[in-house]
């Protein structure tokens, strides 16, 4: 899959610009999330980088023949109506494994949102792992990382850094990019 994904991205004119932590455990967030194409290009990037990324998506896409396929691809279904304990369960996963990379889209949807969901931050802070800030730049056809941060337990000051890193993001549908504010 690695070579095939690299070839597809190259043929489509996409570049990968990644800097990943030396740690084998981290939370990986991507912004903006404005289209279903984010999933397609995100998976191609995951395979091209040979990244052991586990990703979270709404449980409703894990139906029928897609369920075992998506789980084999690293998918973790999340029922947003019954997500009680999600943060603690993921902290426990980080603590119980030697290697774990958890990918989340903090907007939580492709539609325009008023805030980022803060679960990614609480998971990283609770598990004492870094957060990798990744982005989709459809204008320049780049998928990459901007920065690696280590949560300080001060979500407001850490989010100022995150907000600054994502100020010039170019989603597939820019009008759907969520506001760069944090839900506390």
pLDDT at 140: 93
Number of domains in the chain: 1
Question: What pLDDT shows up at residue 113?
Answer: 72
25 within some domain: yes
Laid out side by side, the sheet with 75-78 consists of 15-17, 142-149, 131-137, 25-31, 100-104, 53-58, 75-78
Determine contact, residues 25/99, Cβ cutoff 8 Å. Answer: yes
pLDDT of 143 > 90? The answer is: yes
User: So what's the pLDDT on residue 175?
Assistant: 79
Span 39-75, pLDDT tens digits: 899 999 999 999 999 988 878 888 888 899 888 888 8
User: Residue 184 pLDDT more than 80?
Assistant: no
Q: Exposed/middle/buried for 161, CB within 10 Å: 0-12, 13-18, 19+?
A: middle
pLDDT band of residue 4 (cuts 50, 70, 90) is very high
The predicted model gives 116-131 an average pLDDT of: 92
A 10 A CB-CB count for 85 gives: 9
Does some domain include residue 151? no
Better-scored residue on pLDDT, 133 or 89: 133
Q: Which domain holds residue 51?
A: 2-34+44-110+117-146+164-174
User: pLDDT tens digit string along 79-123?
Assistant: 767 667 888 888 998 999 999 999 988 876 666 676 778 889 999
Is residue 129 one of the residues assigned to a domain? yes
Residue 10 to residue 176: CA distance in whole angstroms: 27
| 153 within some domain | no
């Amino acid at each position: 899959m690695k070579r095939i994904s690299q070839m597809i991205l190259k043929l489509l004119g996409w570049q990968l610009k990644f800097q990943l932590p030396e740690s084998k455990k981290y939370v990986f967030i991507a912004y903006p999330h404005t289209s279903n194409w984010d999933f397609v290009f995100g998976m191609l990037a995951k395979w091209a980088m040979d990244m052991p990324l586990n990703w979270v998506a709404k449980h409703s896409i894990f139906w029928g023949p897609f369920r075992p396929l998506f789980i084999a691809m690293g998918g973790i279904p999340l029922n947003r109506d019954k997500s009680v304990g999600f943060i603690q369960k993921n902290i426990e996963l980080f603590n119980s494994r030697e290697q774990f990379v958890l990918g989340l889209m903090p907007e939580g949807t492709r539609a325009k949102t008023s805030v980022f969901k803060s679960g990614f931050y609480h998971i990283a802070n609770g598990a004492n792992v870094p957060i990798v800030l990744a982005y989709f730049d459809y204008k320049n056809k780049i998928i990459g990382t901007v920065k690696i941060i280590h949560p300080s337990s001060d979500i407001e000051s850490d989010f100022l850094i995150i907000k600054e890193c994502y100020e010039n993001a170019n989603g597939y549908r820019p009008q759907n990019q969520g506001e760069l504010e944090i839900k506390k």
